[in-house]
Every structure is written in C-alpha cells, then in structure tokens.
Chains A and B, each alone.
Chain A
Amino acid sequence: MRSYAELDALALREETVSGRRSAAQNVAECFARIEALDRELGVFLSTERARAEQRATELDAGRAHGESAGALFGVPIAFKSNFCLEGFESNCGSKILAGWRAPYTATVAQRLVDAGAIPVGMTNMDEFAMGSSSENSAFQLTRNPWARERTPGGSSSGSAVAVAAGMVPLAFGSDTGGSVRQPAALCGIHGFKPSWGRVSRYGLVAFGSSLDQISPFARSVRDLELAMQLISGRDECDATCMDLDALQPIVPDDEQSLAGVRIGVPREYLPASLPAEVAREVRAALAVLQRLGAEIREVSLPHTEYAIPCYYVVAMAEASSNLARYEGVRYGARVEGSGSLQSMFAATRGAGFGAEVKRRILLGTYVLSEGYHDEWYGRALKVRSLIARDFEQAFEEVDLVAGPTSPTPAFALGERSSDPVAMYLADALTVPANLAGLPAISTPCGFTSSAPRLPIGLQLIGPMRADARVLRVARAFEAATEHAQQRPPLATGAAR
C-alpha cells in the first residue's frame, strides 16, 4: 500500500471508500505529517485537529451506515487563511485580523465539505495576499521544501507547501496576480487559476476583486479537474459568478495525443534576460508538447511590458477600497487612539497593517484621488483592455499560450524583501492572465541543474472560459513526463 503522502486526492478517496483506509486514519496521518514537518516549513497558521477528527468520525460512521461517499470522501484539505470557514481563524496573515474567527463559510469551502473533504487548518500567506514570498506574513515565514533558505513563492505560500510536502493532497489558495501559479511553480506542483467568474468568491477575503480567483493546488492534474468540478458554478451569493460551460472530465483514451492543438509561445515571455535554466526547461517542455502532436508557433503579446504597472495600479486601487473595512469598529484589532473616531481608525490601521499593505493602500488611494484618477486608474483600465485584446488576437491563431510561470526559480528568503519592485517583477508573467480574466495553469516542467535542485513551472494560458482545454493539455504533458512525480527531500519522523 502506498503511503498517505504519496497518494493524490482521487487515489486517497478510492482507498478510503473501498475500506482499505478510513477517514479517521487519513486525518491521523495528515496530522502526523504536519507535526513532523511544520515546525521547519511554517505551513499552518492554525490547525483544527479536533474538528477534523470529529468530521472524520462522522464520515466513517455515515459510511458504515451505507451513506454514499462524496467525491472527496475522507480527503484532508487545507485553505489559505483568507478563506472564511465558520469558527476557523481567517486572519489573512495580518495582525489586524489576528484571532478573528469567521462567522460564516465560503461557498467553495462548503461545496468541498459537502463532497466529504475534511478541512484540517488554515495556511500561511503574505498579508492580505500581497506578496510573492511569504515574507509579508505578519506571523511567520514559510520555507520551500526543496531548499529551506528559499521562498516557496506567494502569496498562497502555506497551501502550496502543504501539498508539495504531502501534508494534504489538495489545498486552496487565491490567485490575484499569480499567487497560486507562482508558488506552484516554485514548489514543483500544479496550480490552476480558473477563468474569472467561474468560481464563487463568496467568503474569500477580497484583495483585488476584479482579479481575485480561488484556485486549487494539487499533485496531479486530475485532482485539479476534480476540484474544479466541485467548486465551479453559479452561486446566489456572488453576482459575478456564472455558469460557464461545464467542465467535462478529460477523455482518457485520447490523453497522449495533442494532435491539432496549436500552442503559441509569446516572444515577450522568453526574453533574453530569462535565466538559462528556466529557458532550457521551458523549451524542453515545448518540445514534449510538439512530440505529443501539438503545433508550436511564436506569437506576440505586445503590451506585456505594461502588465506589471497596469496590474499594480488596478490591484492597489481595489485593495485601498477593499481594506477600508478594517478600522476596528466591528471586528479584529482595535487601538483606541486619542479619543476621536478618526484617531481610532488611524491608530488601528497604523498598528494592524504591515508595511507592504500600507504601501498598497496609500498608492491605491492616490491613484483614485481627484485629479489623479484619470491619469492613473483610468489609464490603467485602458491598458488592461489592451492586454486583454492582445490575448484575443493571439487566440485567433492559437489554442493556448505557453511560457514560464515565473522568470526565476525560488529565490532566497530576504533577497528581495527590501526591494518591492524586484518582488513585483516575480509576477511579470502571471499577472496578464489575471488582467484578462483567463484560465491558466502552472505545471512542473523540470528542475535547475545547479544545486540546490529547484523546480521550474510551465504556464499554459487559455482563452476565456476554456478552462477544460488548459487542463486537458496539462494532463497530457503530465502523463508524458516525470516532473510532477518528483518529491522534495523531506526528513519526516517516519523516515528517520
């Protein structure tokens, strides 16, 4: 029998439903793994062992009474700390929400729980999802399981590492500018950002609402497909969530062939400045896709260089408004100040928010201010539509766009923390899909050859609503390569 940490969610579910394992055993092994590794890796901000055990007991009892087993029956899962689960601490990696337990449950979390999944805890993140390294968390660093002194990426750092380190087979993050794809690439796992509007955002604490999208991490593409089937679809609590075309499972007998699929490689995504190892592995991946029958073409997305400034103006503007609610009146931290209401607001926000969050609120406030609004925010919206048009034009010629997920492999913790612009550039290749609302995956495509051995991710971006196409190609690539089967060198108690 393969061990808990080796199984993907589908395999774990099958073993549990068939009776070879129990939900309770899954939870026990999950927590054994967390105990063995989490002190070193810093994945969880809070775990909910008692709740998870009780839920497992209920599931096992229900099964014994002949209840049907859900699609994620008995599978432990983890959430980034910006998801609301009633009674769980959803602190968003921020002091301002330290200790805040959500009074309601996100639609996505509810759907997963209804399918038999077992939430085990809330994972570390850059504060309010602002960051690419975990270094902006108010509470702790998360470390890359492939190299402890390096970042796992961010902002969904903890959820990525929870999956990469085998603590859970499936975890959820949010991707506003690459916050799931970039850590997936840096940790050697799959991360999928759906089309904007396919998955309900109700219960996901907002950062940049027009960009935010709940996104799963997994160690197999079929797990991502399963997760997407469970969490997609109309939600009466989110007016922007639609029934896009249903995500059909990939037809298995055809999975090796990509005949007829046209894949465009934007020349802007493979600049001369790209590190040689990243370029090499991405080109090797393109060769694999070609061998599978895909046609590889060069395309151009000419406004790519404006994606970062455009993204930061839009995201900061929305963040300045979304984060206005944290002023100490109704929940979270409160600092009284000198007696007036305004001073309480100022003192609370001054003490509660970290430096990066403050920077973005200030810049977001600035770009929306009278006299600057048109020049900054208004212009960014225009650029945003140009970037979306670039993709539309490219998709007239090709079915998918491919390139690296991150311009670099995992960088060292501390290397960029004093240089916000260098940190922002980590998102250069991921933000365009958010600006255009497109589905995109990061899938493992190789490793650096110099030590330490670090994963590299291939990004596939599809047209609006073509989520199934993106997953279909990723699955064929996964089946043809060994990259996703590689596991980081971890010393668990069991191995010692």
Chain B
Amino acid sequence: MKLVDSAYVSQKTGKRWIPVIGLEVHCQLKTRTKLFCSCEYRFGASPNSLTCPVCTGQPGALPVLNEEALVLAVRAALALGAQIASASRFDRKNYFYCDLPKGYQISQFDRPYCKGGGIELSSGRRVRLARIHMEEDAGKAIHDRGEFTLVDLNRAGVPLIESVTEADLESAAEAQEYLSALKEILQYTGASDCDMEKGSLRCDVNVSVHPPGERWRTKVEVKNLNSFRYVGAAIEHEIARQVAAYESEDPAQYPVQETRLYDPQRNQTRSMRGKESAHDYRYMPDPDLPLVQIDAAFLERQRAHLPELPAARRERYEKQFGLTALEAGVLASERAVADYFEAVTRASGRPKEASNWIQNELLRWVGDAELGVTRFDELQLRPSELAEVIELVEKGTIPNQAGRKLLREMAKSGRPAKLLVKELGLEQVQDLAQIEEWCRTALVGKEKIIADVKAGKDAALNALLGPVMKLSGGSANAALVRETLRRLIAQMG
C-alpha cells in the first residue's frame, strides 16, 4: 500500500499533489591520478599546476584509462547492488566551453559500465538506480576576476561516476535520506570522499508534480545544489512553485521542460535554459579508447574487497553489542569510525564503553583547532590506546574525569598513557588523610547541607561531592570521598 503522507498539500486549494523526484549525483573517485593521465589531483592546489599534455588537450595527446578508477567505480557499483556490464564503452560528449580542453568530455552514453542497483530507505521503500557511468570532470572557469575569465585545468580529467536514480523519490526528506545513504556507501567502499564543500559530490534533481492517480507531468531539472540542505530546500521550493503554477489554471504559467538554477540566497530557482536551447551533444564512440572489458575474475577480486556496509553494521552493533539504534547509527555512518569502534571493542572487550568514549570524546574532537583534526581518521590515537584508557578507568586506577584529560593529552602529544598518568598525577588518591583534609575544607560553612544529611537526606551529600573533587583536581576516589563525608558529618555534634 502506498503511503499518502508523501503527498504535497496545497495551502491555497487544499488539493493533494504527488511529487516525482529523481537525482543525478556526480561523485569524484578517490584515485591517486586522473582518469586518463598520470596527473595527481589535490583540491586547492595552485591553478594549472596539476596538468599535462593529455588533460590540457594538447594536439596529438591521447587518453589511457586509469585502472584504479575502474576498480573504485566497480566497487561502488557492487556496493550499490548494480550489474556490471562485461563490456562498456567511452563516448565523446561534444560541446564548447572554456573549461573543457578537448571540446568534448569523455563520458559513457549508451553503454555505461553498470545498470540497476539501488538503495533502501528507512521507510522500506527502494530507490532504484537506472545506471552509473564513468566520465571525466571539466576544469574550472573563474569569472569574478576583473574583465578576464580565468581557466584552471587542475580538475580537468578527474574521474567521476554519475549515478542516476529512477524517479522513485517523493519528497525532499527522501532525497536527503537517499543522498546520505549513497554518501555512506561510497565512502565505505573507499570510492569517494563525497565532500560537497570540495565539490567531490554534486547533485542535480529532476522534479515534477501531478495529482494523485494522474499521469506524470513535465519535469524540471534543478542544478547548483552545493549541500544536502540546499537539495532539500530546492526540491521544496520547486514543488511549491510547480503546484502554484498548475493551480493558477493558466496554461501559459504551467511548468515547461527546462533547466533551472537554485539560488540559495533567495531560496528560489530561476530558469537557466529551456528545452529548445538544450545542447545537442553529438555523442560518438571515442575511437581513442578500446571497449572496457570486465571479466568474472576481476569482479570477484573487487567483490572480495567490499567492506561490510553501513546498514549491515548498524544491525550487527545492535544485536551483537547491545547498542541502541542511535548509538549504532552514529558509529556506523562513517567507515573510519566504525572500524575504529570495532578495533577498540576487540582490544578492550567493552563495546558499550568503547561506544561511549568514541561518541562523547573522540567524535567531539573533530574540528577542534587545538588538536588540528578536521577528520576522524586524522586523530593521532590508536584504538589500542583508547582501550588502555578504558581499562584504567574501569579498574578504578584513574577517575573518569582524569581519563578524559589523559585521552586528550595522548591525542595531543602522542605520548603513552602510563607516562602521562604519572606526569599529570592522574592516579586516584586513596590516601584517607588527604581525602579527609579536602572534605573538612569543603564542609566549612555548609551547616544547611550537614543538617539535611543528618536528617536522612542522603542525596544532599552530592552537593558536597563536587567541591571536594574540585579541590582534589579530579583525582580523589569518589567512593572514598562519599564515605569520608558521611563519617565526618556523623561525628559532628
């Protein structure tokens, strides 16, 4: 049965409209070199510093397929459940632009390397993929530098895979969920960083709306969506715009087949080009590249490299380790985190604690300027080291508070736990005389609390715990402090 809550309800007329949405996602493959030459690619490198005769389209230069790109493309496709073609072909997509060095883009047209596959949403509904194909990226034209347009060809020739969904999505939320899942899978397989800010993931959407039970209507393509948030906002805006256009009941206002650009500042879309000015790309097979042949042995090798995917891990973390769905979801969403969690769990035998420490400490350090860490996998802390700290805390060698301090110090300095525990004096103080002295200091002037405790309100004791721990610099054994406070209060007249 079809859920009705994905329908869009017009505010003006109260009518229901069914949105039909498809996504085209371009994603940069994480190869060492470009798709058809041996140039490296790094985001932000000095303009035109990563180029050669092939990727600048010098006369006479020829493309040669980068095997690593094929490997990553195939792994991504396998992880998405697609069928890989035993032979596929590169074609030329011909158009003129200053950032396109050869006057054509090498892409795949009618024989893409894979078809089918898809992603299941949390609702249980499946978003089918029509196809995925490989292609090379264009360079960058920079228009805002005075009277000139500048061209940077570093990005020209960087490998992309373009995945195209069937029009199976019905809302902005579904589109965003699909994108998150796609991103997770592509990151997990090591195919891509999927970093939208660096342009390694780009998304175009196709949107149309129709009344329930009626035929699909004209679709509109929306481009320039640089974040998941914009994808959602653009879809919502576009649905509303199209519904309003139809409800005007003036056919002149009805949506036309066109490409629109999303403007995030104004949260609206505007027409970029109509159907009549759509490019005729004059596709033709690229005679410089032989058919891409993929045999069963190659496929098996790539399949063997596929990691356990996020959905499977989530389920396993809940069942095997007793984590909550939320905890499992956070840990599994990024492969580096999930792999780290599993390594800590293996080393410590304490999945729950490993999960808590990773989520409460390590994940919060990402983006911390003091640690200089912008990604989880940049953390300078081995899983065995976190396991060691967990052990120290669980065995009571150091207090929880001290464990956090220790862990951060280890990540910062890279020095071993044992040394730092000594240096920073983090071991729990079990010396009764010392604890008694801190407790006496903390009790001064707290007659009200003392009276409450005497009257049997044991909870009032908690108000004293903090000041004592503070005096001890977090090093006092909490159980001993509690015991000592009770004893001292009892001894008071």
Q: Which residues on A are within 8 Å of B, measured CB to CB?
A: 82-84, 90, 92, 97, 100, 102-104, 106, 201-206, 209-210, 236-240, 317-318, 320-321, 323-325, 327, 329-331, 341-342, 345, 365, 368-370, 373, 377
Interface contact B282-A373, CB-CB below 8 Å? yes
Encode contact with A along B275-287: 1 for CB under 8 Å, 0 otherwise: 0000010111001
What chain B residues lie within 8 Å of A201 (beta carbons)?
60, 62
CB distance from A488 to the nearest CB of B (A): 32
Encode contact with A along B43-71: 1 for CB under 8 Å, 0 otherwise: 00000000001001111111111000000
Interface contact B94-A368, CB-CB below 8 Å? yes
What chain A residues lie within 8 Å of B64 (beta carbons)?
236-239
| A84 and B290 contact, Cβ closer than 8 Å, known pairs A369-B282, A377-B284 | no
* Between-chain CB contacts (< 8 Å), 5 pairs: A100-B59, A240-B290, A324-B102, A324-B103, A373-B283
From A203, A321, A369, name the one whose CB has the most chain B CB atoms within 10 angstroms. A321
| A103 and B53 contact, Cβ closer than 8 Å, known pairs A239-B289, A325-B59 | yes
Interface contact A239-B290, CB-CB below 8 Å? yes
B298 contacts A by Cβ under 8 Å:
no
Interface contact A368-B284, CB-CB below 8 Å? yes
B288 contacts A by Cβ under 8 Å:
yes
What chain A residues lie within 8 Å of B56 (beta carbons)?
330
CA distance A330 to B97 in the complex (A): 12
Interface contact A239-B103, CB-CB below 8 Å? no
Knowing that A84-B60, A368-B283 are A-B contacts, what are 13 other residue pairs whose CB atoms are under 8 Å apart, sorted by A's residue number? A102-B59, A201-B62, A203-B60, A206-B288, A240-B288, A321-B103, A321-B284, A325-B101, A329-B151, A330-B101, A331-B58, A331-B59, A370-B282
CB distance from B64 to the nearest CB of A (A): 5
B122 contacts A by Cβ under 8 Å:
no
Interface contact A321-B58, CB-CB below 8 Å? no
B98 contacts A by Cβ under 8 Å:
yes
| A239 and B65 contact, Cβ closer than 8 Å, known pairs A321-B94, A329-B151, A365-B282 | yes
CA distance A237 to B94 in the complex (A): 23
8 Å CB contact of A341 from B97, B104, B282: B97
Interface contact B96-A345, CB-CB below 8 Å? yes
CB distance from A347 to the nearest CB of B (A): 13
What chain B residues lie within 8 Å of A206 (beta carbons)?
59-60, 288
* 3 tightest A-B CB contacts, nearest first: A324-B103, A210-B287, A368-B282
Interface contact B94-A330, CB-CB below 8 Å? no
Chain A, Cβ-Cβ closest to B95: A324
What chain A residues lie within 8 Å of B290 (beta carbons)?
239-240
Chain B contacts with A in 240-254, Cβ cutoff 8 A: none
CB distance from B487 to the nearest CB of A (A): 82
What chain B residues lie within 8 Å of A106 (beta carbons)?
60
B128 contacts A by Cβ under 8 Å:
no
Chain B contacts with A in 150-189, Cβ cutoff 8 A: 151
From B101, B102, B287, B288, name the one whose CB has the most chain A CB atoms within 10 angstroms. B287
| A330 and B92 contact, Cβ closer than 8 Å, known pairs A209-B288, A377-B284 | no
Interface contact B62-A370, CB-CB below 8 Å? no
CA distance A373 to B91 in the complex (A): 14
Chain B contacts with A in 72-126, Cβ cutoff 8 A: 92, 94, 96-98, 101-104
What chain B residues lie within 8 Å of A342 (beta carbons)?
96
Encode contact with A along B258-285: 1 for CB under 8 Å, 0 otherwise: 0000000000000000000000101110
What chain A residues lie within 8 Å of B92 (beta carbons)?
321
B149 contacts A by Cβ under 8 Å:
yes
CA distance A341 to B149 in the complex (A): 9
CA distance A342 to B94 in the complex (A): 15
| A239 and B104 contact, Cβ closer than 8 Å, known pairs A330-B56, A365-B282 | no
CB distance from B284 to the nearest CB of A (A): 6
What chain B residues lie within 8 Å of A97 (beta carbons)?
59
Interface contact A327-B96, CB-CB below 8 Å? yes
CA distance A341 to B98 in the complex (A): 8
Q: How many residues of B contact A (CB 8 A)?
A: 30
Chain B, Cβ-Cβ closest to A341: B98
What chain B residues lie within 8 Å of A368 (beta carbons)?
94, 282-284
CB distance from B33 to the nearest CB of A (A): 13
CA distance A123 to B48 in the complex (A): 32
What chain B residues lie within 8 Å of A320 (beta carbons)?
94, 282
CB distance from B38 to the nearest CB of A (A): 9
| A103 and B58 contact, Cβ closer than 8 Å, known pairs A236-B64, A239-B290 | yes
Interface contact A202-B62, CB-CB below 8 Å? yes
What chain A residues lie within 8 Å of B60 (beta carbons)?
82-84, 90, 102, 106, 201-206
CB distance from B294 to the nearest CB of A (A): 15
Interface contact B62-A104, CB-CB below 8 Å? no
CA distance A82 to B60 in the complex (A): 8
Chain A, Cβ-Cβ closest to B289: A239
CB distance from A60 to the nearest CB of B (A): 31
8 Å CB contact of A317 from B65, B101, B102, B284: B284
What chain B residues lie within 8 Å of A83 (beta carbons)?
60
Interface contact A237-B287, CB-CB below 8 Å? no
CB distance from A352 to the nearest CB of B (A): 13
CA distance A209 to B284 in the complex (A): 12
8 Å CB contact of B59 from A84, A240, A318, A341: A84
What chain A residues lie within 8 Å of B282 (beta carbons)?
320-321, 365, 368-370, 373
Chain A, Cβ-Cβ closest to B58: A103
CA distance A206 to B104 in the complex (A): 14
8 Å CB contact of B62 from A103, A237, A373: A237
Interface contact A104-B96, CB-CB below 8 Å? no
Interface contact A327-B65, CB-CB below 8 Å? no
CA distance A102 to B56 in the complex (A): 13
Interface contact A324-B94, CB-CB below 8 Å? yes
What chain B residues lie within 8 Å of A321 (beta carbons)?
92, 94, 103-104, 282, 284
CB distance from A330 to the nearest CB of B (A): 6
CA distance A128 to B57 in the complex (A): 16
CA distance A83 to B63 in the complex (A): 17
What chain A residues lie within 8 Å of B283 (beta carbons)?
368, 373
CA distance A368 to B53 in the complex (A): 27
Chain B, Cβ-Cβ closest to A328: B98
What chain A residues lie within 8 Å of B94 (beta carbons)?
320-321, 324, 368
Interface contact B103-A209, CB-CB below 8 Å? no
Chain B contacts with A in 274-317, Cβ cutoff 8 A: 280, 282-284, 287-290
Interface contact A240-B289, CB-CB below 8 Å? yes
CB distance from B67 to the nearest CB of A (A): 11
CB distance from B161 to the nearest CB of A (A): 20
What chain A residues lie within 8 Å of B53 (beta carbons)?
103-104
Chain A, Cβ-Cβ closest to B278: A370
CB distance from A61 to the nearest CB of B (A): 31
8 Å CB contact of A329 from B61, B98, B287, B289: B98
CB distance from A176 to the nearest CB of B (A): 12
Chain B, Cβ-Cβ closest to A196: B287
CA distance A317 to B102 in the complex (A): 15
CB distance from A183 to the nearest CB of B (A): 21
CA distance A97 to B59 in the complex (A): 10
CA distance A492 to B139 in the complex (A): 53
What chain A residues lie within 8 Å of B288 (beta carbons)?
206, 209, 238-240
What chain B residues lie within 8 Å of A84 (beta carbons)?
58-60
8 Å CB contact of B103 from A104, A317, A325, A377: A325
8 Å CB contact of A92 from B59, B62, B103, B104: B59
Interface contact A239-B102, CB-CB below 8 Å? no
CA distance A52 to B7 in the complex (A): 77
Chain A, Cβ-Cβ closest to B281: A370
CA distance A209 to B61 in the complex (A): 12
